[in-house]
Structure 1
Amino acid sequence: MRLSNLTYFTLTTLSLASPLQPRQTPESSIESLLTSLFATVQTYTGAINATLAPLTPSSPLLEKTAAIPQIGAQIIKITQAIQDTASEIR
């Protein structure tokens, strides 16, 4: 009787301690996440293009320098969007 109780307890404990299968994200969900990411990146690159459009090689250095933080902010947003999407896919 003791042996059967010990066996039951051991098997129950081992079955509870077994690792779970990783959760797979459905392909349709991944596709929608990537489509959303693509639209987001297009928005941010459009903002970069709008910032750079009025600048020319002969633009004053002050104008070019003023555009750098705005472009940097858009690049940070693109990077964050990619990281967020990647974490949702995992």
Structure 2
Amino acid sequence: MTTRIPTTSGPRLSTAPSSIKPRQLSHLHAQLAQLSANLADLENLLRMTSVQAESIRGLGAFHGGLFMAASKVLGEETIAGQANAQQQQQRGGET
């Protein structure tokens, strides 16, 4: 069994311009077309994500406002309830 040692005197066949086959070129062209299509899809998705991020920010601000309003209302009710309870205790202690 003999082994074949590549020679270094001439250009390798895989790097020689004339060795590129039309099939390889068409495959590379198809891959480039697929890459271009994927990049266009990615650009559209990024644009949509940007719009959605702005909407989510607005929704977060609205949600925060609702939480602050609910906290204020519930806080006032709690304070009023505690004041009523203290008044009832004072009245109950007086009688």
How does the TM-score come out when normalised to structure 2? Answer: 0.37
Structure whose CA Rg is larger: 2
How does the TM-score come out when normalised to structure 1? Answer: 0.39
